[in-house]
Amino acid sequence: MTSLPESQTSTLLDIVAIADNFPPFSSPYPTHHPITLEPYVPFHLTQEDYQNHLSPVGLVRSPVLDELLNLNCPDFLLIRSSSPGEDGRWKNDVDCVCFSSEVVQGGHEEMGRVMQSITERWRDEGKFMSRLEGWRNEKYMVYADPRSSAFKTIPIGTMSNGAFPLERAACALFGFMTNGVHMTAYEGEGSSMKIWVPRRSSTKPTWPSKLDNSVAGGIPAGMDPLTCMIKECAEEASLPEDLVRKRIRNVGSVSYFYITPDGFLQPEIEYTYDLSLPPRDSVEYVEPHPCDDEVESFALMSIPEVLDALHDKEFKPNCGLILVDFLIRHGFVTPENEPNLHLTGVRMHRRLGVAVPST
């Protein structure tokens, strides 16, 4: 494989750290914001899960916890280690948020209904609009620790330990792990390799006009990663299903922990794929081109051009991380030209501290 000059790879860790911007933590899960020290409260399905020290489903910020307290909703249990104040009202000293036993007994549908109901209410009331104004009417699956006591009474869900679906725009309110698929489509090998890079539409609600991975998307609740990848290939890049199924290759996954500019938590796992396109003189050859309004255009970029765009911060942050992973796997980044290679790999495959899919 062709290696890149050291000068071009010396800041790849910095590129990864744009997406993985939550510092490593030694506790089982993050307990507070690394700068503001705002505390996080773990969200579990049941009180028993909290008492058994299982991985939480998510992490609740103080503003969201305040709204849950204001709701005074019987669907939730707010576990406290202390007693009420003199006025009989609980103070904001919650140790854990979980569902009531009645909600858990209602299964996936009831837990999902409760969560969807309160987030729709907040949206309609104009709360947390930095998150909820991007409402998409598309649901992600929220996962729980496979050992959760809730799974003793309800059947396990998608990806073995799916707990309930929730509108994707609302997931960050509770620090729920989200996941998606990212694919790098390329032509050639070694020094002649080039990557198909799309530019996001200027009308996209997130990261408009930034460069992206060849094809990428969130995984809707109830859909497996490969099915989602094939769907996105058709919708975003006009790539025919038969060619994708024939040539696509799963190459693993990456994990990273992102803090949004408005302070919400987005621990994420992305399933990664490579697609080596047929030679240009082949009857199978096809070029990606936009099919919907999410992609403005595609460009075929050499590896040095991709590196320049990465250093210039032209890529959407997590897409930059995916491309760093691609460059390492294909031998362009080595211990000889990247002194931070090991730490870069660690930051792309990190422990998240919350429940993740279990297959």
| Three-state SS letters, 249-275 | EEEEEEEEEEECCCCCEEEEEEEEEEE
Domain membership of residue 28 (yes or no) is no
What pTM value is reported for the model? Answer: 0.91
Domain membership of residue 30 (yes or no) is no
pLDDT reported for residue 158: 52
pLDDT reported for residue 154: 66
Domain membership of residue 31 (yes or no) is no
pLDDT reported for residue 9: 39
Q: How far apart are CA 63 and CA 93, in angstroms?
A: 13
- Give the CATH number, domain containing residue 214: 3.90.79.10
140 with 285, same domain: the answer is: no
Domain membership of residue 46 (yes or no) is yes
pLDDT under 70: residue ranges of the chain: 1-10, 81-92, 153-159, 359
309 with 188, same domain: the answer is: yes
192 with 339, same domain: the answer is: yes
User: What residues form DSSP beta bridges with 267?
Assistant: 257
Residue 140 near residue 171, CB atoms below 8 Å: yes
165 with 190, same domain: the answer is: no
Domain membership of residue 14 (yes or no) is yes
197 with 279, same domain: the answer is: yes
185 with 329, same domain: the answer is: yes
253 with 299, same domain: the answer is: yes
Q: How far apart are CA 143 and CA 275, in angstroms?
A: 29
310 with 183, same domain: the answer is: yes
* Of 153, 174, 195, the domain-final residue: 174
Q: Which of 253, 283, 279, 278 minimizes the C-alpha distance to 268?
A: 253
10 with 120, same domain: the answer is: no
The phi-psi region of residue 146 (left if phi > 0; otherwise alpha if psi is between -120 and 50; otherwise beta) is alpha
161 with 200, same domain: the answer is: no
Q: Can you state the angle between helices 341-348 and 317-329, rounded to 10 degrees?
A: 130
Q: Which of 105, 107, 132 minimizes the C-alpha distance to 121?
A: 132
DSSP assignments along 149-210, one per residue: GGGGTS---TTTTEEEEEEGGGGGGGT--EEEEEEEEEES-GGG-EEEEEEE-TT-SSSTT-
* Of 174, 207, 240, the domain-final residue: 174
51 with 104, same domain: the answer is: yes
pLDDT reported for residue 338: 86
pLDDT reported for residue 230: 97
Indicate the residue type of 52: N
For 237-268, write each residue's pLDDT tens digit. Answer: 999 999 999 999 999 999 999 999 889 999 99
Residue 49 near residue 150, CB atoms below 8 Å: yes
Q: How far apart are CA 296 and CA 207, in angstroms?
A: 13
Q: How far apart are CA 339 and CA 61, in angstroms?
A: 36
Domain membership of residue 122 (yes or no) is yes
Domain with 328, as residue range(s), is: 6-23+178-348
17 with 105, same domain: the answer is: no
Domain membership of residue 203 (yes or no) is yes
For 111-153, write each residue's pLDDT tens digit. Answer: 999 999 999 999 999 999 999 999 999 999 999 999 999 987 6
Q: Give the total number of structural domains in the chain.
A: 2
pLDDT reported for residue 293: 82
Domain membership of residue 109 (yes or no) is yes
* Of 174, 204, 225, the domain-final residue: 174
Q: Which of 226, 229, 207, 219 minimizes the C-alpha distance to 295?
A: 207
Question: How many residues would you count in the chain?
Answer: 359
